[in-house]
Structure 1
Amino acid sequence: MENVRKRMDMELVSCNRRLQKLINRSTFKYCTTYSENLNAVTLEKKIINFCKPIYIGLAVLDISKSLMYDYHYNVMQKHYGDKIELMYTDTDSLVYYIQTNDFYEDLKNNNNLLERMDTSNLPENHPCYIAERKKIPGLFSDETDGLVMTEFCALRSKSYAYILNGKEKIKAKGIRKHVVKNHMTFSDHKKCLFEEKGENKRENVSIRSFNHQLTTIRTNKITYNNYDDKRVVLEDKVHTVAHGHYSLKKDELEDDWPELDEEGHNWTGEEKGLMRLLLRE
């Protein structure tokens, strides 16, 4: 959704007198010089017309979360119980590890699963194929087109790799396609995750335009980074918990203010816990 606050007025000026007038205005933002007698003056708008309902973006994200949570807890987890594990999630997608003989056989034999799926992308001879549900909002589709995902490795949001039908598939937001295709591998994802290499950089080559002058730029961009600030990664590097999870609170209290455990203080365990709580407040 467009942010109307960012709208600007721009005027091309070739007259020095007109240029000086625009620069003296209170709405003057900046000036770009193209030549001795041509300048582009950028001005902020005096009046902003809020004609774009930006709150729709917030509403859509909240509705999406409700739909995703309902599908995860009331459909998938309710059906599979402890035989299903959520490996990765995004705004509109879920990656599951399911312990079952045949997921599509489960779809075929359970209407509560099949009625929430859009199976129009499966082969026409597939037993779960239903063409009438194509692109219906609110239904989930199988992005693997019926193939089997054998391995999956996610480093952080928008950065993961998996092996599908023996072929590597890599998703890395913000990285050039030729870098993803020629320089990134699934094994490198696993090394970054488990061997604590931190971050790895690759050279990106791009053509940019500055003041209508084309320039070739070489930049080093992070391709692998195992730091995930959206979740708390546990010691096994596989499982994560949410920030503020109850299992973390005890460890956090023990790590804060270690001077309470120094020699010379006759604190009981209950007194130490109470003192830490008071200090945190």
Structure 2
Amino acid sequence: MKLYNRAGTDQEIQELGQQINVDLLLQKGAYPYTHMQSPANFEEIQLPPIKEFYNDLNDQPLDQKVYDHAKQVWESFDVQNLGDWHNLYVLLDVTLLADCMERSREILWDSYNLDLAHYFSLPMIAYDACCKMGKAKLDYVDVTMHCWCETALRGGVCGVGGIRAAEANNKYMGEKYDETKTSSYISFLDINNLYGSAMCSALPEKDYKWLTEYELDRVRANPSAFVNSLKDDAETGYFFEVDLEIPPTIHNKLNDYPPAPTKRCVSKEELTPHQLQQMQDLQIPESTFKNSKLVADLLPKVHYVTHYRNLKMYIKLGLVITRIHRAVKFSQRAWMKAFILFNTEMRKQATTDFEKDFFKLLNNASFGKTIEQKRKRMSISVVTTEKQLKRIVNKPTYERIITINDKVHLAVKKVTQVLLDKPVAVGISILEISKCFMYEFHYHYMKEKYGDKARVLYGDTDSLVYHVETRDFYQDMVENKERFDLSDYAGMHSHLNNQENKKRLGKMKDEMPKSVIFRFAASKPKMYGAQALSIENGKMTIHTKKVAKGIKKAAIANQITFD
């Protein structure tokens, strides 16, 4: 009796499962998509050769181990032809997805007493679980305040630092170490659960109010003193709309990692002659300048809306408040903290990669719901007649048509009404506070300890790549272990391993804990490469990490080299 040709009750399928080698079904199968060109292929009585399983989409051949597993399944289940193989593949695919769904439901019910089957998406249930666990009673803000807060909606800073490329020279590099040159290191540091760390802070909950002119005048009398007097965990928090100046005397200090980034369009006049020539050579259109980007620069900030903790950080770094336009105060508390700490603890206890990733995803998903852009939602209509098509195309909300086939099309339209019911003030606070963690590490640890000998090569939302001139950067980390998570160190760095801060929120960890980086180069955001050395089987081996957003993984692996 064949599992893939049988439709039976749950009990019958369970009984059948006891008669077969279920272990063979615990991973997704292989399917020769390119080989299957017509129904006649279903009559073939043997598994096609491995070359017929080539993935044209990713430009990759099938792994030999996966193919060997497929042959074992074919023999174990007495598959007669590719039609049987097709049925088995589809059944297995759906069953594995069902298992994942049911396991997710179990985890969510056991953890939060919420059923995933009652929700459209994981972010929805994650957000509800967060509010439930934190006993949050969130207030809505009026439309004017909502739109004002949205001007402070800025993602993570990502880009090339003060220098684009560097080579290290230190005693961990074996034969590549040159004792006659200055000892230097390239370190790729990443912060543990950056957004989760920010979500454990005091966040807006209710009682949103504009500051009166009387209250603003009291702040304007000595803005720096007022902002510095505010505690991070105070019961009342603030958003300020200010003008900021960055004195020229501190430009060199801040150049590697400029604070107070702004979302704006970069003008053509800001480009160097070399960049203009590159635009011409690459035929980059003028419309590029109409796209706003998050820019970290040292220009004055005008009507800059930010969280009070960021403003306090900027004042410490030397920025000057030249004017305060408006401000909003609100009641705050760490209402997300219980949810984040619970998920972090569950990650530590998890025994599978699925559960570890699942609880991490829940943290990020709950945050994403706070900054959901409902204005970007679209309305989709199925169009099957020319009359329908003409009526929709003539509407002012019409955006575009997606063709399914000659008879069926999808019409994409803008929505006519938007309910702004997301706690945008919470999301903005998380984004802004997360930047404080990064600025604090860079300016209050790296720059204070190393000064100009520490240069930023590249930075992303939660990571920084440094070139540091020091005798032993790894020993420096051990001496300041309260700032670092050293639990992943292994291989050539196994002597550094320390479990004290394992997975602790806000701690910096090495992205390459088993090797030492000796070369790094970055060309633009989300595009960089690193070469590292590690010891394998007693020999020094070179590994290359390449990242290029928007490029297929196969192309990165096979067509792009570090040089």
For this structure pair, what is the TM-score category when the shorter chain's length is used for normalisation?
A: 0.5 to 0.7
CA distance 1:27–1:87, change in 2 (3 Å): closer
Q: RMSD over aligned Cα, in angstroms?
A: 2.9
CA–CA distance in structure 2, aligned partners of residues 35 and 160 of structure 1: 40
1:173 and 2:546 matched:
no
Secondary structure in 1 aligned to 2:455?
strand
CA–CA distance in structure 1, aligned partners of residues 506 and 430 of structure 2: 12
Residue type at the aligned position of 2:508:
F
- Structure-2 residue corresponding to 1:86: 456
CA–CA distance in structure 2, aligned partners of residues 28 and 135 of structure 1: 48
Residue type at the aligned position of 2:520:
F
- Structure-2 residue corresponding to 1:48: 418
- Structure-2 residue corresponding to 1:114: 481
CA distance 1:11–1:87, change in 2 (3 Å): closer
Q: Compare the two structures and name the one with the higher helix fraction.
A: 2
Shift of 1:41: 3.2
Secondary structure in 1 aligned to 2:494?
coil
Note the residue ranges of structure 1 that are not aligned, 5 or more in a row: 188-281
Secondary structure in 2 aligned to 1:170?
strand
User: TM-score, normalising length from structure 1?
Assistant: 0.55
- Structure-1 residue corresponding to 2:498: 130
Q: 1:58-97 residue pairs with structure 2 within 5 A?
A: 58-97=428-467
- Structure-2 residue corresponding to 1:212: none
Among candidates 381, 402, 405, match of residue 11 of structure 1: 381
CA distance 1:33–1:62, change in 2 (3 Å): closer
CA distance 1:101–1:146, change in 2 (3 Å): farther
CA–CA distance in structure 1, aligned partners of residues 515 and 453 of structure 2: 20
Shift of 1:28: 4.1
Residue type at the aligned position of 2:503:
K
CA distance 1:183–1:57, change in 2 (3 Å): farther
Shift of 1:34: 4.5
Question: Does 25-34 or 73-82 show the bigger shift?
Answer: 25-34
- Structure-2 residue corresponding to 1:159: 527
Among candidates 503, 507, 511, match of residue 139 of structure 1: 507
Q: Compare the two structures and name the one with the higher strand fraction.
A: 1
Residue type at the aligned position of 2:559:
H
Q: Once the two structures are superposed, what CA deviation does each residue of 1:160-218 show, in whole Å capped at 9, x if it has no partner?
A: 2121002222222221112211122222xxxxxxxxxxxxxxxxxxxxxxxxxxxxxxx
CA–CA distance in structure 1, aligned partners of residues 464 and 473 of structure 2: 15
CA–CA distance in structure 1, aligned partners of residues 514 and 559 of structure 2: 28
Question: Does 27-36 or 1-10 show the bigger shift?
Answer: 27-36
Q: Once the two structures are superposed, what CA deviation does each residue of 1:219-241 show, in whole Å capped at 9, x if it has no partner?
A: xxxxxxxxxxxxxxxxxxxxxxx
Secondary structure in 2 aligned to 1:153?
strand
User: TM-score, normalising length from structure 2?
Assistant: 0.30
CA–CA distance in structure 2, aligned partners of residues 13 and 155 of structure 1: 45
- Structure-2 residue corresponding to 1:149: 517
- Alpha-carbon contact 1:61-1:91 (below 8 Å) kept: no
Q: Once the two structures are superposed, what CA deviation does each residue of 1:125-148 show, in whole Å capped at 9, x if it has no partner?
A: 834423242222211110110421
CA–CA distance in structure 2, aligned partners of residues 154 and 71 of structure 1: 21
Shift of 1:14: 3.7
Residue type at the aligned position of 1:159:
M
CA–CA distance in structure 2, aligned partners of residues 96 and 26 of structure 1: 51
CA–CA distance in structure 2, aligned partners of residues 117 and 39 of structure 1: 54
Note the residue ranges of structure 2 that are not aligned, 5 or more in a row: 1-367, 534-541
Residue type at the aligned position of 2:413:
L
Shift of 1:52: 3.2
Residue type at the aligned position of 1:94:
L
Shift of 1:71: 0.8
CA–CA distance in structure 2, aligned partners of residues 32 and 171 of structure 1: 31
Residue type at the aligned position of 1:172:
A
**Higher RCO, Cα 8 Å, sep 6+:** 2
